[in-house]
Amino acid sequence: MSKIAIIVPGIGYTTDRSLLYFAGKVAQNAGYEILKIRFSGFEKGVKGDPEKMKRAFDHAYNQLMEQLPTPDKKDEVLFISKSIGTAVSLKADIEKEIRAKHILFTPLMETMELLHKLLEKQGTKRRSDILVFHGLADPWATDNVRIRDIAEQATVKYYEVSNANHSLETGDPIVDLGNQKEIMRSCEQFIRK
C-alpha cells in the first residue's frame, strides 16, 4: 500500500503558491508521495460567466484525468485542491470510486454540490475524510450562508477565515501568516489521523 497526495490547483493558483505548497509539505512529512497536477489553457474572464465556468470545469477535469494515476484500491489517496480543483477532484473521486481524503481550499458552489453527491454515493461515513476552508470575503464563492449550510448538513470539518479572499488572504500579511499557521496545523491533524 502506498500513500499519494494529489495537489490540484485552481485556474490561476498554482501548486507552488502558499496554501498548496505548504499543505503538500505537510503531506510529504506524513509519508505521502506528492503528485502535482498542472493546468493550462483556460479562457480569460471565467469568473461570473456560467458558460465559461462550465467549459473551464470540463477543461480542468479532462486535464486532471490525463494526469491522474489509477490508484490501487489499497492505496491511501489524499487530494489537496484549490478552487476549481476542489470540484474536479470530488468529481474524479465520485466517478472513479477513489474514496480519497480531501482538503478543499476555497471551494466553489459547484464543489459543495459535488460534496453532497459524494456523500450520497459513497456514504456519510466519508464525511470524516473531508476538510473545507472558506474565506468569508471570497468573490468566487459569495454565498457564505449556503456554503456553511451545506458543510454543516454534511457534517464535514469546516473552517471559515474572516475577511479572507479566494486565496484565504486578508491583505494584512501578519494576519495572513497567522491564519496560514492555523490552517496548516488543521491540515496536519487531518492528514495524520
Average pLDDT for 168-189: 98
Residue 112: predicted pLDDT:
94
Residues ≥6 apart with Cβ < 8 Å to 143: 109
CA separation for the pair 145, 147 (Å, rounded): 6
Residue type for position 181: K
pLDDT at 73 over 80: no
Query: In which band, very low, low, confident or very high, does the pLDDT at 52 lie, cut at 50, 70 and 90?
Result: very high
Tell me the CB-side half-sphere exposure of residue 79, using CA atoms within 13 A: 32
Average per-residue pLDDT in the chain? 95
Compute the distance between CA of residue 132 and CA of residue 193 in angstroms, rounded to an integer. 16
Confidence class of residue 70 from pLDDT cuts 50, 70 and 90?
confident
Per-residue pLDDT at 1? 72
Q: How far apart are CA 92 and CA 57, in angstroms?
A: 12
Position 22 confidence tier, pLDDT thresholds 50, 70, 90: very high
- Mean pLDDT, range 108-125, rounded to an integer: 94
Q: Does the structure show a pLDDT above 80 at 136?
A: yes
> What Cα–Cα distance (Å) separates residue 52 from each residue in 42, 55, 56, 57, 87?
9, 5, 6, 8, 15
CA distances from 191 to 5, 125, 162 (A): 10, 17, 24
Cβ(13)–Cβ(81) below 8 Å: no
